[in-house]
Chains A and B, each alone.
Chain A
C-alpha cells in the first residue's frame, strides 16, 4: 500500500486472485477452481441476494424498525466464497456481520433481523445450521471455534471449523490465544479474517505493522492473503484450507483483503474519518460487478438471467421486510426464560413476583 494512493487500491502482490476486477479469469500456481456454469450462476445469485437482504436491513433501520444494523456491503464475495466452501459437517463461528455466511448455512435472514430489532439476542439453533450465534464481543468466538475443533478431533470426525473475525479483532488477546491453541493442538480450524481495512474509525495501521496473513507464521501455521472481492478465489482458498484441516494438517489463517463499503454500523458516520476517493476506488473492485462481467463475457448468462435474479432479490427484500415487521414483541415473561437450563429458585421467585405485579394493572 503506498502512502499517496487510496487505501488498498494497489493490490498487494501476494494476493491470491482468480477473477480480476474486470471479470477476467486468471491462473494461480497454488489455487484453482472448477465450477460448472450453473455453480457460477448460483454464486452470482447468492451475492445479489445477500446484498439485497443487507440493503433492506439498512432501510429498515433507517425507518426505525431495527435498533442497529452492521452492513456487509462490499464483503459479499468473502462471505459467500468461504461460506460455500463449507460442508454440512463443518461448523462456522461468525461475528455479527456474517449475514452472507448465514445465508449459506440456511439461517432465515429474519432471524438475523430479530437480533437487531431487539426481539432476542440470537434465537437460532446453532446445531441445526452448524452456524453459531453472532458474537458481539470482538474475537471471543475464535476460541470457541478452536475448542469445537478440538472436539471434532476427539470424535475422530471428518469436519473442520471456521472462525470469522475482522482486522480489528486481530489485536484481541483471544484471537492470539486461539492461534496458539490451534497451533499446539493442531486443531482442524480455519481462521477467516475479513480485512475490510477499517475497525470502525481505526485504519489497519492501528492494528498491525505487518500484513495480517503473515502473523500466522509466528504461530507456526500457514497464512494466505486472498482477494476478498473475488468469490472464486475465496471459495478456492477456503476449500483447500478446510480440506487441509480435515486431513489433520492443522489450522490456516486466511486474510480476505476486502473493503467495508458502508459504515461500520448504521450508527456510524465514515465521512468523519475516511476520504470519498477510497470508496470510489474500491467500487471499481466490486465483487458482484466483476462476476457479472465474467458471466457476460463468457456468455454464461444473459440479460434474462440477471433480470430474474434482480426480481428474485426484490421479492426476497419484500418478504424479509414483511416478516420482520410481523415479528411479535416478546412477552415480559421472556425476560426470565432460558437464563438457565435447569430450574433456578431465585429466578422463579423474581418472575412470579414480577408477573403478579404486572397482573395488578390488568384488574
Chain B
C-alpha cells in the first residue's frame, strides 16, 4: 500500500498504461513540460518523450479531432481538457464524431479515446472552472461516462478506461485532487461499469459520484452519531449505470437521495429518480429526492458555498425523506 493524492494516483495510472502499451498517448494543453495545471501528467513527457506526451495548440476541438485521427491510426490517446468549462469547443467533435464512428462504420472502427475532464467546484475559481457537464455526455449514445472519487479508484479506473475500446469521458473531481488515501499499486480495480458501496447502511441510500462521494460519506458519518444508518453508493460509471446495485440498495433501505453538483433540473439525478421509481416502486417509503446545484449558472466563488451541496443540505434532504 502506498499513500497517494488523487492527482498522483491518476499520474501513476497513466504511467503504468503508457509502460504497458506503447500506443497510449497523452495530449492536451500544458500536459508536457508543465505536467498539466493540476500536475496529473507530471513527469510523463520527460520519461516518454514529446511524441507520446503532446503539448497541443490551445484549441479543444483540435485536441479531440486529432485524437480521433490518431485512434483511427491505432493509437490510444488520453486527452486532457484543462477545465470542465473548456470542453464546450470540443463538444461537436465528441458528440458528432467520437461517439458516432463505431456505428457509422457498422463496427469496423473502434475509438479508444479517453477524454479526461477535471470537474466540479469548490476551489474558488473564476467562471468556467467549476462546472459539472456530465449530463450533456450521458445523454449521448456511443460515449461511456465515468467519474472517479478517490485515489484508489483513480488509479485503477484510468487504466481500465485506457484499455477499453470505446470512447470514455473521464471526470476527475478537481477539489479532491489533493486528498490522500491508500492505493495498492498492484491491485486490479473493479470493472469500469460497476458501482461500489462506499459505506454500507440500512436506513437510506445516498447515490453520488465524483466530488460528492466524500460529502456524502461525511454526511453519513455525522448521521451515524444521531443513530441513522446511511448507505453511500459511489456510482463510478454514469453510462452505463450499474442499476442492479442501485436497485438492490434502494429496495433494502426504502429511501433514496441523489446528490450531485450539477443543477438538479434535468440533471443526472432525474434519470436515477425515474428509474428507481419504476424499478423499486413498491419498496419506496418516500419519493427519491435530489440535492444539487440550482437552476442558475455556476456562481462567482464567493457564492459557491451556498450553491454546492454540503453536509447540511444533504442531511436536510435525508430528514425530508424520513418525514414522508
Q: Which residues of A contact B (CB under 8 A)?
A: 120-128, 132-133, 135, 137, 140, 142-155, 161, 173-174, 177-178, 180-181, 184, 337-342, 344-347
Decide yes or no whether B72 CB sits under 8 A from chain A.
yes
Complexed CA–CA distance, A347 and B71 (Å): 24
CB contacts (< 8 Å) of A127 on chain B: these are 108-109
Q: Which residues of B contact A (CB under 8 A)?
A: 51, 56-57, 59, 61-62, 64-75, 89, 92-93, 96-97, 100-110, 141-142, 144, 164-166, 193, 239-243
Complexed CA–CA distance, A346 and B68 (Å): 25
Contact A178/B57 with A125-B105, A155-B73, A346-B241 known, Cβ cut-off 8 Å: no
Contact of A340 among B96, B105, B142 (CB under 8 A): B142
Complexed CA–CA distance, A155 and B51 (Å): 11
Contact A146/B165 with A123-B106, A339-B103, A345-B240 known, Cβ cut-off 8 Å: no
Question: Can you give 15 A-B contacts (C-beta < 8 A)?
Answer: A132-B72, A140-B65, A143-B62, A144-B66, A148-B72, A149-B69, A151-B74, A153-B51, A340-B144, A341-B102, A341-B164, A344-B144, A345-B193, A345-B241, A346-B241
CB contacts (< 8 Å) of A153 on chain B: these are 51
CB contacts (< 8 Å) of B72 on chain A: these are 126, 132, 144, 147-148, 151
Contact of A148 among B70, B93, B104, B108 (CB under 8 A): B70
Query: Could you tell me the distance in whole angstroms from the C-beta of A260 to the nearest C-beta in chain B?
Result: 24
Contact A180/B142 with A123-B105, A338-B106, A346-B239 known, Cβ cut-off 8 Å: no
Complexed CA–CA distance, A345 and B73 (Å): 29
CB contacts (< 8 Å) of A148 on chain B: these are 69-70, 72-73
Instruction: Judge whether B69 and A151 touch: CB under 8 Å.
Output: yes
Instruction: Judge whether B105 and A126 touch: CB under 8 Å.
Output: yes
Complexed CA–CA distance, A146 and B57 (Å): 13
Instruction: Judge whether B142 and A339 touch: CB under 8 Å.
Output: yes
Known pairs A147-B67, A148-B73 / 20 extra A-B pairs, C-beta < 8 Å: A121-B103, A121-B104, A126-B109, A133-B101, A137-B96, A140-B93, A144-B65, A144-B72, A144-B97, A146-B65, A148-B70, A150-B70, A174-B65, A177-B57, A178-B62, A178-B66, A337-B103, A341-B166, A342-B165, A345-B243
Complexed CA–CA distance, A338 and B51 (Å): 32
Instruction: Judge whether A180 and B102 touch: CB under 8 Å.
Output: no
**B107: nearest residue on chain A (CB-CB)?**
A338
Query: Could you tell me the distance in whole angstroms from the C-beta of B17 to the nearest C-beta in chain A?
Result: 17
Instruction: Judge whether B108 and A125 touch: CB under 8 Å.
Output: yes
Query: Could you tell me the distance in whole angstroms from the C-beta of A135 to the nearest C-beta in chain B?
Result: 7
CB contacts (< 8 Å) of B68 on chain A: these are 143-144, 147
Query: Could you tell me the distance in whole angstroms from the C-beta of B114 to the nearest C-beta in chain A?
Result: 14
**A93: nearest residue on chain B (CB-CB)?**
B69
Query: Could you tell me the distance in whole angstroms from the C-beta of B89 to the nearest C-beta in chain A?
Result: 8
Instruction: Judge whether B105 and A143 touch: CB under 8 Å.
Output: no
- Which 4 pairs from chain A and chain B are nearest by CB? A147-B69, A143-B65, A151-B73, A147-B66
CB contacts (< 8 Å) of A145 on chain B: these are 69
Instruction: Judge whether A147 and B65 touch: CB under 8 Å.
Output: yes
CB contacts (< 8 Å) of A174 on chain B: these are 61-62, 65, 92-93
Instruction: Judge whether A181 and B66 touch: CB under 8 Å.
Output: yes
Query: Could you tell me the distance in whole angstroms from the C-beta of B28 to the nearest C-beta in chain A?
Result: 13
Query: Could you tell me the distance in whole angstroms from the C-beta of B177 to the nearest C-beta in chain A?
Result: 28
Instruction: Judge whether A342 and B93 touch: CB under 8 Å.
Output: no
CB contacts (< 8 Å) of A124 on chain B: these are 105, 108
Which of the listed residues B59, B66, B108 has the most CB atoms from chain A within 10 Å of its own CB? B66
Query: Could you tell me the distance in whole angstroms from the C-beta of B60 to the nearest C-beta in chain A?
Result: 9
CB contacts (< 8 Å) of B57 on chain A: these are 177, 180-181, 184
Instruction: Judge whether A346 and B104 touch: CB under 8 Å.
Output: no
Instruction: Judge whether A177 and B70 touch: CB under 8 Å.
Output: no
Complexed CA–CA distance, A122 and B64 (Å): 21
CB contacts (< 8 Å) of A154 on chain B: these are 51, 75
Instruction: Judge whether B239 and A342 touch: CB under 8 Å.
Output: no
Instruction: Judge whether A338 and B69 touch: CB under 8 Å.
Output: no
Instruction: Judge whether A341 and B67 touch: CB under 8 Å.
Output: no
CB contacts (< 8 Å) of A161 on chain B: these are 69
Complexed CA–CA distance, A180 and B58 (Å): 10
CB contacts (< 8 Å) of A155 on chain B: these are 73
CB contacts (< 8 Å) of B61 on chain A: these are 143, 173-174, 177
Instruction: Judge whether A133 and B104 touch: CB under 8 Å.
Output: yes
CB contacts (< 8 Å) of A142 on chain B: these are 65
Instruction: Judge whether A341 and B165 touch: CB under 8 Å.
Output: yes
CB contacts (< 8 Å) of A126 on chain B: these are 72, 105, 108-109
Instruction: Judge whether B166 and A340 touch: CB under 8 Å.
Output: yes
Query: Could you tell me the distance in whole angstroms from the C-beta of A275 to the nearest C-beta in chain B?
Result: 35
CB contacts (< 8 Å) of B96 on chain A: these are 137, 140
Query: Could you tell me the distance in whole angstroms from the C-beta of A138 to the nearest C-beta in chain B?
Result: 10
Instruction: Judge whether B105 and A150 touch: CB under 8 Å.
Output: no
Complexed CA–CA distance, A3 and B61 (Å): 38
Contact A178/B73 with A122-B106, A133-B104 known, Cβ cut-off 8 Å: no
